[in-house]
Amino acid sequence: MIELMAPAGNFAAMQAAIDAGADSVYFGVEQLSMRARSTMNFTLEDLEEVAERCAPKGLKTYITLNTIIYDHDLGLAKKIVDRAISAGITAIIASDQAVIQYAKAKGMPVHISTQLNVTNIETVQFYSLFADVMVLSRELSVRQVKTIVDGVKKDDIRGPSGDLVRIEIFAHGALCMAVSGKCYLSLHTQNSSANRGACIQNCRRKYRVVDVEGGHEFEIDNEYIMSPKDLCTLDFLDQVIATGVSVLKIEGRGRAPEYVKTVIECYREAIDAYNEGTYNQEKIDAWMARLAKVYNRGFWSGYYLGQEMGEWTKKHGSSAQQKKVFLGKGLHYYPKAKIAHFDIDAFSLKVGDKVVIIGPTTGVVETVITELMVNSAKVDEVKKGMDCTFPLEQLVRKSDKLYKLVDVAVEA
Amino acid sequence: MVTISLQRAKCIGCNYCCEMASDRWAMSKKDGKTVLIGSVDKRGFHIVKVGDHEYEDNKRAEKACPVNIIKVVSV
């Protein structure tokens, strides 16, 4: 069975991943997780809760501890490994040899991060001394991936557990213009190392090319000359699964909970459809339409199909066809009547509106408003500054936020 | 007089401040974040007052910090 691995930047995203059908989640702790700038990181104190939420549902949990490590980081890195073991986290995703060595010595399972750019079978053989799971470089084609997966079986390459090494690849999400994170643009311009998780994303900006000697500016069709579109394998997932890989990873620890929900749901359904023999074009079209609604820079197949390089995005930020607008915060939930009570602090809410409710325990709940009440009287619209109730099957909480989903005009 | 402040929780442990002003900054082996030597923690802001002769080096540390959590002000 192929494992679907979801990103989690916070508890809401983690809950969304659990509810959407992920088999495992990966997340960062403190500043050594390749998302140092993100406010969306877990702390050491959160580890027990992560394990408590995931393990009973059968989800595995992985900590990304995959930056380069300086001497002064060793203490924290070891502390993270120790705490992960005591909290019952499944494995550590690592790239620095110090982390790999320490986790191995402590008996903590290791995943070899994509930051180590595994691109051939002998490298798999080498790291099998330390790790049972290896993430391949994102720049390989499906043919090359298959050769490596077949090689593991042929050469009987086993990890420390004694089982055959499991090969993992990225299935969906942002791609880097450099070889899987081996980029120094951010370090050179802002002292901000991508390999320490502090990338300022120079590649996502607009650029002009000027001939310094003559002062002439070159004409290029697209100013976003370094910003790749997002990887999407959903429309050729049959080819991806046929390589025999064991784990499909979804990128996006920095992305919103509703993104995690939508992407994981689509890939879950696609994997299940493949297994049932019902993976077809009609379903693919429907999944692609859903994926286009959440954050994306346009989609391409990455390097998997061996196409030429250079699928660059044409605009800054997301091409999502839907956005969420904050309306208000949760006040109460009446479980017997199944009624949710929310404050409306901004804009307005109407009957028929599509809404999403997001919270650390709730995860992501999407629904359409069928009925609205203010002070027990039915209304069609609730304006800013009022509070309202509406029927809702799922339990929601005070810590939840209510958003309206609105369509974004698609540019020609 | 020069006031130096550090919003320590946001430090990503890059080490640049130590390179720029090694007498005033050191990396903690405990949590991998920088330590502003001699400072007092005031609700997450670590603050120290130093002599004018430290201004230049610490100004370079402020400029080098990739997450802009160091402030160096001449008072």
Predicted local confidence at residue A57, as pLDDT: 96
Find out if CATH 3.30.70.260 is the number for domain A3-176+228-300.
no
Taking CA–CA distances from B12, the nearest residue in chain A reads: A31
A262 vs A132: CA distance, rounded Å: 29
A265 vs A260: CA distance, rounded Å: 8
Predicted local confidence at residue A408, as pLDDT: 83
A118 vs A129: CA distance, rounded Å: 14
Cβ contact A113:A133 at 8 Å: no
Q: Is A145 helix (H, G, I), strand (E, B) or coil?
A: helix
Predicted local confidence at residue A412, as pLDDT: 43
Residue B25 lies in domain: 2-74
Which candidate from A31, A72, A190 shows the least CB-CB separation from B15? A72
Q: Which of A29, A41, A191, A193 to mutate to test the interface with B (most CBs of B within 10 A)?
A: A191
- H or E, element range at A4: strand A3-7
The residue whose two tokens read 């650390």 is: A360
Q: For chain A, which residues make up each domain, given as ranges?
A: 3-176+228-300, 322-407
Along the 412 residues of chain A, how does pLDDT read in single tens digits?
899 999 999 999 999 999 999 999 999 998 888 777 766 679 999 999 999 999 999 999 999 999 999 999 999 999 999 999 999 999 999 999 999 999 999 999 999 999 999 999 999 999 999 999 999 999 999 999 999 999 999 999 999 999 999 999 999 999 888 887 688 888 888 888 888 888 888 888 888 888 888 888 876 667 777 888 899 999 999 999 999 999 999 999 989 999 999 999 999 999 999 999 999 999 999 999 999 999 998 898 998 998 766 577 777 778 888 888 999 999 999 999 999 999 999 999 999 999 999 999 999 999 999 999 999 899 999 999 999 999 999 999 999 999 999 988 755 4
Averaged pLDDT, B9-19: 95
A37 vs A131: CA distance, rounded Å: 28
Cα distances from B46 to residues A86, A216, A266, A375, B39, in angstroms, run 32, 49, 47, 49, 6
Tokens of A125: 């053989």
**Mean pLDDT of chain B, nearest integer:** 96
Return the CATH number of A322-407, one of 2.40.30.10, 3.60.60.10, 3.40.50.800, 3.40.50.300: 2.40.30.10
Instruction: Give the phi and the psi of residue A119 in degrees, each rounded to 5.
Output: -130, 5
A339 φ/ψ sector (left φ>0, alpha ψ -120 to 50, else beta): beta
A123 vs A65: CA distance, rounded Å: 20
Query: A161-195, pLDDT tens digit by residue?
Result: 999 999 999 999 998 888 876 888 888 888 888 88
A288 vs B49: CA distance, rounded Å: 58
Which candidate from B15, B31, B66 shows the least CB-CB separation from A70? B15
Query: A123-160, pLDDT tens digit by residue?
Result: 999 999 999 999 999 999 999 999 999 999 999 999 99
Which candidate from A31, A190, A191 shows the least CB-CB separation from B13? A31
Cβ contact B27:B13 at 8 Å: yes
Cβ contact A60:A91 at 8 Å: yes
- Of A31, A383, A404, the closest CA to residue B8 belongs to A31
Sign of CA dihedral A270, A276, A281, A286: negative
Confidence band for B6, pLDDT divided at 50, 70 and 90: very high
- H or E, element range at A93: strand A91-94
The crossing angle, in degrees rounded to 10, of helices A47-54 and A11-20 is: 10
CB contact under 8 A, A73 and B13: yes
CB contact under 8 A, A37 and B12: yes
Closest Cα of chain A to B53: distance in Å?
25
Q: Name chain A contacts of B31, Cβ cutoff 8 Å.
A: 30, 75-76
Q: Name chain A contacts of B13, Cβ cutoff 8 Å.
A: 31-32, 70, 72-73, 76, 196
Q: Which of B16, B19, B28, B31 to mutate to test the interface with A (most CBs of A within 10 A)?
A: B31
CATH number of the CATH domain containing B55? 3.30.70.20
Domain count, chain B: 1
Query: A19-44, pLDDT tens digit by residue?
Result: 999 999 999 998 888 777 766 679 99
ipTM > 0.90?
no
